[in-house]
Amino acid sequence: MSASRKTFEDVRAAVLSCHENCTLQDKMKFYDSWAENYDQDLAILGYSAPCVAASRISSHFSGDREAAVVLDVACGTGLMARQMKRHGFGHFMGVDGSKRMIDMARQTELYQDLKMCMLGEEALPVQWGLFDVVVIVGALSVGQVPVSVVRDLDKSTKSGGYICLTTRGNQDNLDFKAALEQELKQMEEDGFWSCVEVTKVDKWEMAVSEKEEGYIPGAVYLYKKL
């Protein structure tokens, strides 16, 4: 089907089919098949996370943006890097578990390096303490990237750098969201980072679950590495 002729119901069916995949390997195969239409489908859903996250990072980052090194975890097709580029950032490294998503990200010509990694099963394939900004947008949710990955995000960030994370607030993700927020709070109490701000977004994306209608909420968490 032509991407221009797709409806919300078409995209909804595709997203729900992803959630039906049980193993991480099956999910990566799904993302490989989805990569070509991923950007267009998320536009149909009104997906706002990359735009909001990039804006919140930009509002606090005061260093040299062109020289800053950004790690884009679960980078997908490069949506987040494109938004960050609009705010003046120019040096990106991407990590994702889908080869086809990485191929699409490479076509943006924004990334200096792209690596495959099964997030949650392998450590991030990066140098610890290297990055000025580390982002993971859209992937932290139930059945996707586990909360445990947050520790590697902190390790990857240089002292004084920023870590930006997002998650959804739909009903099926509430337990995951609570576990994520508990981990973020614990890491703050343990002195890993300080919370800069939490931005709640009412219109995160259109709901695809039969349990909800209209838009679901989401949240952007911004931390500063100590």
CATH of 47-225, one of 3.40.50.970, 3.40.50.150, 2.40.128.20, 3.30.70.330: 3.40.50.150
Domain ranges of the chain: 47-225
Residue 70 CB-density burial (10 A; 0-12 exposed, 13-18 middle, 19+ buried): buried
Per-residue pLDDT of the chain (226 residues; tens, 9 = 90+): 445 578 988 888 777 776 665 677 788 888 999 999 999 999 999 999 999 999 999 999 999 999 999 999 999 999 999 999 999 999 999 999 999 999 999 999 999 999 999 999 999 999 999 999 999 999 999 989 999 999 999 999 999 999 999 999 999 999 999 999 999 999 999 999 999 999 999 999 999 888 888 999 999 999 999 9
With b for 16 or more beta-carbon neighbours within 10 A and e for fewer, the 129-163 pattern comes to eebbbbbbbbbbbbebbbbebbebbbbbbeeebbb
